[in-house]
């Protein structure tokens, strides 16, 4: 019995000594945390989406403190987060223009060139005949890989094509990064006119595989009075620095491909600009 008590006593003393050593060591080797870090992190949405280019919200906040990242890089937090972070850092408020993802494809009726019964994943489907099972070489494959990375429920596959809900999209652009065909692009939230096509094939070939794809007819280009739209490599492309959202290109497009969100809502164009 005495041996047991002795052993317990020895262990208790050793525990007390080691505990004291650890307590002292924790104070000596403690890493000082900048008091601004929890405040900056609190300004961020906590989604840890990675859209800022860092592992998570706290990592981004630390990068701002260290001068390795600018304020306003959090797409999910937007202008409000940038404003709060600027106040904490004691700098002038940063203006942030909201951007959202847009799928540059509406060819829900494009023809298949192969049957795919494999994993429901666009990256896996790309191995079929080298570039995926659809006859269009650059259209949405529609297997929803983009939906698996969206933490905001902002993108879904409808009628075989991914579509973005601009009001839910925070602009983290994770869907942009993961799309194997690079069909998804960032656009300014206030954009009215969009061209939802990525195909650069000639018109005759495009007509065979898709009922809505751009055929490079140049009608939109001729109609534009502001030199804002041009057919480049068989695909109409908008220069938004010149576009005034008049909608003439959308009205004349024979394929009804160009979307003007002031007039049409059946595409995933972002909401109309508040005028």
- Are 60 and 105 contained in the same domain? no
Q: With a cut of 50, which residues of the chain have pLDDT below it?
A: 264-275
Q: How much is the pLDDT for 271?
A: 41
Which helix (H) or strand (E) segment holds residue 85: the answer is helix 78-89
Supply the pLDDT for residue 29.
63
How many other C-beta atoms lie within 10 A of the C-beta of residue 182? 11
**CATH code assigned at 67:** 1.10.15.40
HEC-encoded secondary structure of 200-262? CCCHHHHHHHCCCCCCCCCHHHHHCCCCCEEEECCEEEECCCCCCCCCHHHHHCCCCCEEECC
Give this prediction's pTM: 0.76
273, part of any domain: no
How far out from the chain centre does Cα 252 lie? 31
Give, for 11, the enclosing helix (H) or strand (E): helix 2-28
Burial class (CB in 10 A: 0-12, 13-18, 19+), 205: middle
- Quote the CA–CA distance of 259 and 192 in Å, as a whole number: 8
| 204 touches 217 (CB < 8 A) | no
- Evaluate whether residue 83 is within a structural domain: yes
Q: Containing domain of residue 56, as a range?
A: 36-89
Residue 27: per-residue pLDDT = 67
Do 85 and 119 sit in the same domain of this protein?
A: no
């Amino acid at each position: 019995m005495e041996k047991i008590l002795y052993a317990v006593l020895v262990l208790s003393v050793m525990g007390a000594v080691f505990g004291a050593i650890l307590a002292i060591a924790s104070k000596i080797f403690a890493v000082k945390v900048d008091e601004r870090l929890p405040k900056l992190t609190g300004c961020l949405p906590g989604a840890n989406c990675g859209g800022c280019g860092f592992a998570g919200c706290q990592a981004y906040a630390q990068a701002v403190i260290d001068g390795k990242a600018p304020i306003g890089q959090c797409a999910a937090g937007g202008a409000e987060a940038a404003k709060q972070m600027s106040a904490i850092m004691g700098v002038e408020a940063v203006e942030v223009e909201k951007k959202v993802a847009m799928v540059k494809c509406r060819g829900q009726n494009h023809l298949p060139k192969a049957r795919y019964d494999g994993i429901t994943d666009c990256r896996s489907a790309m191995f079929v005949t080298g570039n995926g099972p659809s006859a269009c070489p650059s259209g949405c494959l529609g297997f929803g890989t983009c939906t698996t990375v969206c933490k905001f429920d902002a993108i879904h596959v409808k009628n075989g094509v991914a579509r973005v809900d601009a009001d839910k999209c925070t602009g983290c652009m994770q869907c942009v990064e993961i799309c194997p065909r690079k069909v998804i692009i960032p656009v300014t939230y206030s954009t009215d006119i969009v061209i939802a096509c990525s195909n650069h094939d000639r018109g005759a070939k495009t007509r065979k595989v898709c009922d809505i794809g751009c055929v490079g007819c140049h009608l939109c280009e001729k109609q534009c009075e502001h030199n804002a739209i041009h057919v480049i490599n068989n695909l109409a492309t908008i220069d938004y620095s010149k576009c005034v959202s008049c909608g003439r290109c959308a009205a004349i497009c024979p394929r009804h491909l160009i979307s003007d969100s002031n007039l049409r809502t059946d595409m995933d164009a972002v909401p109309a600009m508040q005028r």
